[in-house]
Amino acid sequence: MAAVKPRAKNPELRRAMKPWGSFSWGYSDVGADIFVGLGLVLGVAAGASNVAFLFAGVVYVCIGLAYTELAATYPVAGGGQYFVMRGLGDFFGFVAGWAVLLDFTIDVTLFAWSSVDYTSQLLPALVNSVNPWLHFLVVLSLVLGLCILNVVGVRESTAFNGAVSALDVISETCILCLGFLFAFRPHLLIHAMQLNWPSPYQLMLGTSLAIISFVGLESISQAAQETQRPASVIPRTSISLILTILIFALAYSNLALGLHPWHPITDAAGHPLQFWQIFPHNADNQGKAVALLSAQVPYYGAFAALYVPVLGAVLLLISSNSGVFGSSRIAYAMSTSNLLPSTFQRVHQKFRTPVISIVFFCAIAVLELIFAAIPGLFPSFEPFYGRFFRGEGGLGFLADLYAFGAATSYSFVFLGLISLRLTDPLSPRKFKIPLNIPLRFRGERVEFPVVGVIGFIGIFSILIFTLQTHPLGRLFGPSWLVLGVILYLIYRNHRRLPLLRSQRRDWRKAQVEILRRAGEFELMDEYTANVKASDARRAEGSVP
């Protein structure tokens, strides 16, 4: 009788990321955001663009600190979704994860779209308003190509990200240093802020768009399950990324407002314009703002005009690549927690990547691309779509949904952070957000995070701004959440799982396993000791 072969164990995600790989995954996502967000904010907030970036930047720092603490404490693939599920329960964990999935599928399309916009600076035939069909087909081919790349494996994706991230950090530093040294005029900045201050509505709209420039830091936490020694690596890479992106965003917005053009910029009638004034007049320019700005830098601009569009296009492409990576890993984590069907956690035997998740959410990204491209491809639809697109075309539609998804998911992450500080004080936190209030909760000493409250107020304000100023975000964002909740309830009912309550989980056992798989044995021993000490205090009656 033939021997029965044991069933092969489902392969797990490979731990292939080192410190630079972790940084480059985050930078490839959030670092590219300024290439898109700068033009959109300048076109709306005008003389207060730097104020919009400052407010969003403060919120971003709070978000970054929250993700750094949580990812170092719970190094799993789900990122924000997992943190919210553990802190607030299954239902809210699903809602947060579903909002992030919207963000990452938009990420795939938005940055592939903008990548082609930057390329069009050198190849005018790719301008969307000139050849919408060619623009659409090129973006579509990029999305499909990235889908294949991520199926092959994260190691190949990481190498792709790392090289371009290094080149872009050097390039952006050169642009800013030379721009401030040779072209920046403080009196132009003051003049722009005094005479071109936007209305309250425009400032809210600009602030909600400015948050786009800071979305993506969670890519580091979503790659935590594939990062070597994440509790040590993630705090270093996250803090470096927070400072790098904050400096770049604030510097670019102030440079644009105080730029003295080396070559005069004029509108269609020949009237002279400052750099930031070109964006309200031409939606095509909003997608390639950094390339236009770098071309105005004295001495360096002639050279930058040739390579910055290429570098920007490639960086935006790897940000799109991060969207493919992030969406598939979130779906993988949600599936392992019974928030999505088990299909999404299947890992390919050869490539060891979640192939079904990658293909499924790339298909969603393609649907979003088709909807965004319809006004350009079929002008006869313009009367209907014009009510929603506000004259910004597909880029405006994608930005609306991107802002909504980010503000929604980040709001839940702050609530999850606060909850976990109260309900899980025993987990060692190798990195902890500063400014905490010590108190006792359920008999345990806890530290209440003041920064978490400040961050929640800030990001929830941006969510309100988004709902008030983005017609498409107000319509399609909540619709996406409602659709997700319906599917979640159907799935949970089919599996005979609690609908609005959480499954019973042994979080202590889960935390030990998380730290063991991460190779954080010292933290695992510390956590085990904390648990034993807590149990001993309860047994003695010192803890109610």
State the DSSP code for 76: -
Helix extents (H) in 89-131: 90-119
Question: 142 is written with which tokens?
Answer: 């990029």
3 state SS of 81? helix
- 536 exposed, middle or buried (CB, 10 Å; 0-12, 13-18, 19+)? exposed
Question: 146 is written with which tokens?
Answer: 């990235």
Query: What's the pLDDT at 207?
Result: 92
DSSP string, 403-424: HHHHHHHHHHHHHHHHHHHHH-
Helix and strand numbers, DSSP H then E, in the chain: 21, 4
Distance, in Å, from the CA atom of 257 to the CA atom of 46, rounded to the nearest integer, reads 8
Q: What is the mean pLDDT of residues 359-378?
A: 87
pLDDT at 387 over 60: no
Q: What is the mean pLDDT of residues 167-176?
A: 89
pLDDT at 64 over 80: yes
Q: Phi, psi at residue 438, to the nearest 5°? A: -70, 135
Cα angle vertex 285, ends 193, 180, to 5°? 50
**219, 326 contact by CB (below 8 A):** yes
Question: 400 is written with which tokens?
Answer: 């609306």
Distance, in Å, from the CA atom of 92 to the CA atom of 88, rounded to the nearest integer, reads 6
Query: What's the pLDDT at 439?
Result: 93
Q: What is the mean pLDDT of residues 39-66?
A: 91
Query: What's the pLDDT at 4?
Result: 40
Residues 6+ apart with CB under 8 A from 252: 34, 38, 176, 290, 293
Query: What's the pLDDT at 116?
Result: 93
Distances (CA, A) of 426 to 232, 312, 406, 448, 535: 18, 44, 30, 14, 11
pLDDT at 322 over 50: yes
Question: Which is nearest to 205 in space by CA: 101, 320, 62, 55?
Answer: 55
Name the pLDDT band for 139 (thresholds 50, 70, 90). Answer: very high
Name the pLDDT band for 388 (thresholds 50, 70, 90). Answer: low
Least confident span in 233-247, 447-461, 472-486: 233-247
Backbone dihedral region of 4: left (phi > 0), alpha (psi from -120 to 50 degrees) or beta? beta
CA atoms within 13 A on the CB side of 112: 32
3 state SS of 264? coil
Q: Which residue has the higher pLDDT, 89 or 540?
A: 89
**Strand 444-449 vs strand 436-441: parallel, antiparallel, or unpaired?**
antiparallel
Q: What is the mean pLDDT of residues 333-353?
A: 82
Q: What is the mean pLDDT of residues 302-306?
A: 88
Question: Per-residue pLDDT tens for 90-124?
Answer: 999 999 999 989 988 998 999 999 999 999 988 98
Query: Between 3.30.200.20, 1.10.260.40, 3.40.710.10, 1.20.1740.10, what CATH number should domain 19-494 receive?
Result: 1.20.1740.10
E strand map for 224-329: 265-266, 272-273
Least confident span in 130-144, 156-170, 335-349: 156-170
Distances (CA, A) of 280 to 40, 52, 93, 375, 504: 9, 17, 39, 19, 54
Q: What is the mean pLDDT of residues 58-76?
A: 90
Q: What is the mean pLDDT of residues 238-253?
A: 89
Question: Per-residue pLDDT tens for 419-462?
Answer: 999 999 999 998 999 999 999 998 889 999 999 999 999 999 99
Least confident span in 414-428, 451-465, 526-540: 526-540
Name the pLDDT band for 1 (thresholds 50, 70, 90). Answer: very low
Name the pLDDT band for 366 (thresholds 50, 70, 90). Answer: very high
**357, 328 contact by CB (below 8 A):** yes
Is the torsion defined by CA of 496, 500, 501, 505 positive or negative? Answer: positive
Question: What average pLDDT does the structure give for the chain?
Answer: 83
Q: What is the mean pLDDT of residues 31-52?
A: 88
H or E element in which residue 294 lies: helix 289-294
Distance, in Å, from the CA atom of 36 to the CA atom of 13, rounded to the nearest integer, reads 31
pLDDT at 505 over 70: yes
Distance, in Å, from the CA atom of 336 to the CA atom of 346, rounded to the nearest integer, reads 10
Query: What's the pLDDT at 5?
Result: 42
Q: Phi, psi at residue 323, to the nearest 5°? A: -65, -40
Q: Phi, psi at residue 351, to the nearest 5°? A: -85, -20
Q: What is the mean pLDDT of residues 324-332?
A: 83
Query: What's the pLDDT at 3?
Result: 44
Distance, in Å, from the CA atom of 51 to the CA atom of 62, rounded to the nearest integer, reads 17
The fraction of the chain above a pLDDT of 90, given in percent, is 36
pTM of the model: 0.85
Q: What is the mean pLDDT of residues 1-18?
A: 47
Distance, in Å, from the CA atom of 387 to the CA atom of 385, rounded to the nearest integer, reads 5
pLDDT at 414 over 90: yes
Q: What is the mean pLDDT of residues 25-41?
A: 81
Residues 6+ apart with CB under 8 A from 219: 25, 26, 28, 29, 30, 322, 325, 326
pLDDT at 508 over 90: yes
Q: What is the mean pLDDT of residues 366-386?
A: 76
Q: What is the mean pLDDT of residues 504-531?
A: 90
Q: Which residue has the higher pLDDT, 354 or 505?
A: 505
The fraction of the chain above a pLDDT of 70, given in percent, is 83
Question: 331 is written with which tokens?
Answer: 């779906």
pLDDT at 84 over 80: yes
Q: Which residue has the higher pLDDT, 198 or 30?
A: 198
